[in-house]
Amino acid sequence: MIRLMFFMQQFPGFGGIETVTSNLAAYLHKDMEVYVFALKKVSGMPVPEGLKGIFIPGSRKRSKITRYYNEVVRRHGITHVISQGGFSKFTKVVLNPGRDKAVKVITALHGMPGYESPEFELLPQTLAARAGRGFQWKLYGWLGVTEKVLAMKKRKYCRRFSGSFRRACVEGDRMVLLSEGYIESFIASYGVERYREKVVAIPNPCPTKYEAVVPAAKESKGNEVLYVGRLSREKNVDCLLEVWSSIGKRAGWTFSVVGDGPARQELEALVREKGIREVVFEGYSVEPERFYRRAKVLLLASEFEGLPMCLLEGERFGVVPVSFDISAGVRDAVGDGGVIVPDRNAAGMASAVQELMEREEHWEEMSRRAFEHSRKFSVDAIGEQWKRLIMSL
């Protein structure tokens, strides 16, 4: 009997990793016992069907977490562990020296390889440092060493990720990436050529709750362009607003921004200052499907993305994605059901959106393709890949 345990930050939840875990657990429990070990439990949320147990360590100290983890593995006879994210603090626990080394450890990377580098540049503390906030950074600025200090901090920050990913390949049993297109860059970036056979790709599934969705008839669709996601600097929503403002003929159309985050006030101010019309900030929604049902086009311009769930979800409702060429995972998610704009060309994105707005027959064909493409990411299809991998170890 296979006894599988997911190791993650928190559970359950509305986040991408929590949703993916819930969907996979609901699929896999038919063939194995499934457990979750989470550093934090979110109360008042539904737990997926068939889950045998959720274990919460009740301490933030790694030594206590590790001790409890080893105890859970031993007591429940866990045979396989999936580390959801491969973060350093996870790897140190699931690959701790006192573990049961017969347990198979799979690490799942939910971002694009190398994402930690651009992520560092957008951390609040990095932005504050460059702005000279705080006595220490003002002093560094006066001495002219700000960039040198930040470079040192960036190397240290990135080493935490590279060390964790490399250790997961060396000591673990499989490293699962979100796209075949990530394999070569992952191997090169983290120096794991010797462990190439351990690096595989399985994409995340579209949420189970959308399995039965059929796109709405075009008559029930509104003239709406959509962004769904966090409002933070790395998402480049300001760029999307500039794209929207540059589209000449948009009377009768609306750009709806669904989400919340630290950049919201700044983005709302940008809309006011530049007089960008037909923009609605909808705020965070636990039911983005009500926006997918009525929208026609979905935009994405992030600095980095692994496999954007919003694209797969939107496509399921016949929403046509238009995205910058961010990563292999984005290209996989868009497929032939949308438009990939090369070179982060804002004018190119505006042109693609305008064509979809003006040519109804073009939008109809792309919408049909988007829906068909989304079916490749069904829970059944992706869950079966995970089942084969687990059972092969």
Q: Say how far residue 210 (Cα) sits from the centre of its chain.
A: 18
CA distance to 16, 217, 231, 290, 294, per residue, from 309 (Å): 7, 23, 16, 16, 18
The per-residue pLDDT for 338 is: 97
The CA distance from 23 to 140, in Å, is 48
Reading the block at residue 238, the tokens are 């300001």
Per-residue exposure over 377-391, b if at least 16 CB sit within 10 Å of its own CB, e if not: bbbeebbeebbebbe
Q: Under a CB-based contact definition with an 8 Å cutoff, are residues 184 and 112 in contact?
A: no
Q: Under a CB-based contact definition with an 8 Å cutoff, are residues 353 and 322 in contact?
A: yes
Residues with Cβ within 8 Å of residue 287, at least 6 apart in sequence: none
The CA distance from 16 to 360, in Å, is 33
The CA distance from 28 to 148, in Å, is 49
**The 3-state secondary structure of 347-389, one letter per residue:** HHHHHHHHHHHHCHHHHHHHHHHHHHHHHHHCHHHHHHHHHHH
Q: Under a CB-based contact definition with an 8 Å cutoff, are residues 113 and 185 in contact?
A: yes
The CA distance from 160 to 163, in Å, is 5
pLDDT per residue of the chain (393 residues) written in tens, 0 to 9: 999 999 999 998 878 899 999 999 999 999 999 999 999 988 777 788 789 999 999 899 999 999 999 999 999 999 999 999 999 999 999 999 999 999 999 999 999 999 999 999 999 999 999 999 999 999 999 999 999 999 999 999 999 999 999 999 999 999 999 999 999 999 999 999 999 999 999 999 998 889 888 887 777 899 999 999 999 999 999 999 999 999 977 789 999 999 999 999 999 999 999 999 999 999 999 889 999 999 999 999 999 999 999 999 999 999 999 999 999 999 999 999 999 999 999 999 999 999 999 999 999 999 999 999 999 999 999 999 999 999 999
Farthest CA pair distance, the chain:
65
Q: Say how far residue 379 (Cα) sits from the centre of its chain.
A: 17
The CA distance from 81 to 60, in Å, is 20
Q: Say how far residue 192 (Cα) sits from the centre of its chain.
A: 23
The CA distance from 214 to 354, in Å, is 25
